[in-house]
Structure 1
Amino acid sequence: MKRIKIFNGNIITPYRTITDGTIIIENGIIQEVSESPVEITDAETIDANGAWIAPGFIDLHTHGAGNYDFMDGTVEAYLQAARMHATHGTTLLFPTTLTSTKELLFESFDIYRKAKVLNREGAAFGGLHLEGPYFAMSQRGAQDPRYILSPDPKDYMEILERSTDIVRWSAAPELPGALPFANELSRRHILPSIAHTDAIYEEVLKAFEYGFTHITHFYSCMPGITRRNAFRYAGVIEAGYLIEGMTVEIIADGIHVPESLLKLVYRIKGPDNIALITDSMRAAGMPEGKSILGSLSDGQEVIVEDGVAKLPDRTAFAGSVATTDRLVHTAITLAGIPLPEAVRMASSTPARIAGIQERKGSLVPGKDADIVIFDDCIDIKTTIINGNIIYKKQDI
């Protein structure tokens, strides 16, 4: 029996903070969360030295990191990106594809199946998130226009039959065929998510009834109030606020969603309906300069500057270079969100959106021991995944 004792830290539980608390882990599962010292034999001990002890961060939307992209077509890309994310506090991530050829997509499926078996030193994989190709061309952002389509049963059924690892699929709900597509996803327990869309409120409301209960990178590649034939219509942004039960994810790097909008979405939606996501591409954790969005063989050139990736002509952002520790830090320092609630937006809320809240997302007995230890600056000291110490910062 493998035991770990974490002590002398401030434990962030779902509803309170335990000062100078202790956590006991056995065989990868949290056994005890205590306000008092716990005597236990034959346990590896971790002294938190007064730091914060929090549930591991869950990234619902990431394309890569450390100069690797999940579309690169190599097991190494998956494993190295996962390692990089783990050093920044991510314990579970959902590898995200880009609009591409079907052949490249299928290759990514095969690589993922191999990588998830070999992944022992990085953030765990929660399943695949497909981003595209069913998008509004006008809201494509940095998605490759060569491959954008409308949902066709012959197309998406072939894709669905090729992989049982798909857990989420982002699409524009106003496209012809999008609602039957969402029905099929829901039938397979795959989350339909609204993205790269020109929908108006009425279309989003109907889509919500068909299973589109989440909005991908809120504020990015979607309209607010628009005019059609001189009449005003509320857009996806207003729908995200108005529809009770609709969850949203935000790229909280302080750039994709600036300070004023971070404060607005937090005030209206609250921490239980907001997930912090990186939407990171290969340049996350790398120096600024030229990079590639998507696969090395078929991706798009981008430029990283001002703490964000952009298309070369600067007409659109091209994914982010954020990591989850940066998201939490930005939420606290820029938007004034209390630390426990920022942590909730990076852990228990994404766990509930992904439907894995029974096992992940909070520090309570019986759940997986996915734990991150950090200081007041959200500088990651230790990352534990399923009871295994994956990363421990060496103090110099």
Structure 2
Amino acid sequence: MTEKTIKIYSAKLISPQRVIDQAIVLIKNGKIADILEEDIEIPNAIHIDAKGKYLSPGFIDLHIHGGGGADFMDGEVEAFLKVAETHVKFGTTAMVATSLTSDKANLLNTLKVYEEAHLKNKRGAAFLGLHIEGPYFSMNQRGAQDPRYIRDPDPDEYREIVQSSNAIVRWSAAPERKGAIEFGRYLRQHNIIPSVAHTDAIYEEVVEAFENGYTLATHLYSAMSSVTRKNAFRYAGVIEAAFLIDEMDVEIIADGVHLPAPLLKLVYKIKGPDRIALITDAMRGAAMPPGPSILGSKENGLAVIVEDDVAKLPDRSSFAGSVATADRLLRTMVNVAEVPLVEAVKMLSYTPARIMNVLDRKGSISVGKDADLVIFDADFNIHYTLVNGVVLYERT
């Protein structure tokens, strides 16, 4: 039986270049079948009246740990599904599930659970693969990552992990650690993106890392070095390197808390929308009430407190993860960082799709691409989320 055509009309369509008023999008078999500027009759079509609201490509989150009370480190298929189903309500149509620093056994189990959850995920944001965050980090820049597991890259270990699964699409590490350059080269040989993260590297070390495959900076400004002094001499750090290397992509936690308005504006001014991906870096407290929570596994994770729209360590000495949702990222970039809407949407769709090498099927509203779409109003409230042409959220 042929799937019915879905017709979305009276929409302000957001393309990577402009907003098209009164656009009509036709969806068939989960794909975008046509984009029209003049109305036509489609017999037996399912109609969605956008009522003048914005029609956007689905939001793609490259770095997310949890939400709705669940975390990918819980080691349960149900937790994976809960995270995907929670964030689809806020416009996220695809995500890269992210782990935390742990031992090898936990990483291998997370990969196994991911593969099962990927097959069962029918009601949430699609999984684009797994992002391993750690354990090859700088102890000094560990943030809320568990210090018990931080170590140098071990070729026997990471080769076993990579060869155990095809799900790994990116891996964050500190490039100054012993063996990290060889590690980056190995990841690139297996089509995995190495990313600079939780690092005390200086500029020269980042340049070498970039030349060996580290083309992305994980949550820029968070847990990374800036200008330092050694024996009276100043050295540029990771932040300066990310700015100076034009071809390096960066991701930012655009929740308005991790980075205040001046830093959001600075990153946008220097890197531009083609090199910035907006991420939530959300933990299990996203879309949950404030109060006590856990970063990482519910069994042995880190106790944290959610307040002031962010997760903090109990002593409030440091942030311990974001509780943002994708709509909040968009709202912050437009209203706080004063970025044009088209470019803010680009940083949440087209650019992350390009970084993750899925631009052929996601990231923009184009004929032949997956019908991953979001309808939102002028206040960035999500009214519809469609994944592969299926309405998974409708605001009531």
Tell me the equivalent position of 1:217.
Answer: 219
In the alignment, what sits opposite 1:71?
73
- Deviation, 1:308, is 0.3
Tell me the distance in 2 between the aligned counterparts of 1:21 and 1:183: 45
Residue 272 of structure 1 aligns to a residue in which SS? coil
CA shift for structure 1 position 379: 0.2
| 1:285 counterpart = 2:283 | no
Q: d(CA) in 2 for partners of 1:357 and 1:225?
A: 35
SS in 1 for 2:333: helix
Show the counterpart of 1:354: 356
SS at 1:87 equivalent:
helix
Q: Which residue of 1 aligns with 2:160?
A: 158
Q: 2:303 aligns with which of 266, 280, 301?
A: 301
Aligned alpha-carbon RMSD (Å): 0.7
Q: Deviations over 1:169-223 (max 9, x none)?
A: 0000111100110011000000000000000111101100000000000000001
Q: Distance in 2 between matches of 1:50 and 1:4?
A: 17
1:251-291 per-residue CA deviation (whole Å, 9 max, x = no partner) reads: 00001011100010001110010000000000000011100
Structure 2 Cα separation of the partners of residues 384 and 194 of structure 1? 33
Q: CA deviation at 1:92?
A: 0.0
Match of 2:100 among 98, 101, 105: 98
1:201 paired residue among 197, 200, 203: 203
- Rounded to whole Å, the distance in 2 between the matches of 1:89 and 1:263 is 23
Tell whether the 8 Å contact from 2:60 to 2:363 is kept in structure 1 after alignment: yes
Deviation of the 1:33 alpha carbon: 1.2
Shift of 1:389: 0.7
1:103-252 to 2 correspondences below 5 Å:
103-252=105-254
Tell which deviates more after alignment, 306-315 or 86-95.
306-315
Structure 1: gaps (5+ residues): none
Equivalence map 1:26-45=2 (5 Å): 26-45=28-47
**Greater mean deviation of Cα atoms: 345-354 or 155-164:** 155-164
Describe the superposition over 1:318-359 as per-residue Cα deviations: whole angstroms up to 9, x where unpaired: 110000000000000000001111000000000001011111
How do residues 6-21 of structure 1 correspond to structure 2 at under 5 angstroms?
6-21=8-23
The residue type paired with residue 340 of structure 2 is P
Distance 1:92 1:382 in 2: 15
Match of 2:392 in 1: 390
Task: Tell me how far apart the structure 2 counterparts of residues 248 and 104 of structure 1 sit (CA, whole Å).
Answer: 28
CA distance in 2, matches of 1:117, 1:160: 20
CA distance in 1, matches of 2:378, 2:172: 35
Q: CA deviation at 1:110?
A: 1.2
Q: Is the 8 A contact 1:22 1:38 kept in 2?
A: no
Shift of 1:42: 2.1
How far apart are the structure 2 equivalents of 1:351 and 1:275? 9
Q: Distance in 2 between matches of 1:14 and 1:36?
A: 21
Aligned to 1:369: 371
Q: Aligned partners of 2:232 and 2:16: how far apart in 1? A: 48
Q: Which residue among 337, 341, 351 is the counterpart of 1:339? A: 341
CA offsets 1:73-124 (integer angstroms, 9 cap, x no match): 1111011110000000000001100001222211111111111111000000
CA contact (8 A) 1:11 1:52 kept: yes
User: Equivalent residue for 1:266?
Assistant: 268
Q: Number of aligned pairs?
A: 394
The TM-score normalised by the length of structure 1 is 0.99
- Contact 2:217–2:250 under 8 Å retained in 1: yes
Give ranges in structure 2 of 5+ residues lacking alignment.
Answer: none
Q: Would you say the 8 A contact 2:26–2:32 is kept in 1?
A: yes
* Secondary structure of 1:265 counterpart: helix
> Which whole-Å deviations, capped at 9, do the CAs of 1:12-43 have from their partners, x for residues lacking one?
01222110110001101111111111321121
Higher deviation after alignment, 98-107 or 324-333: 98-107
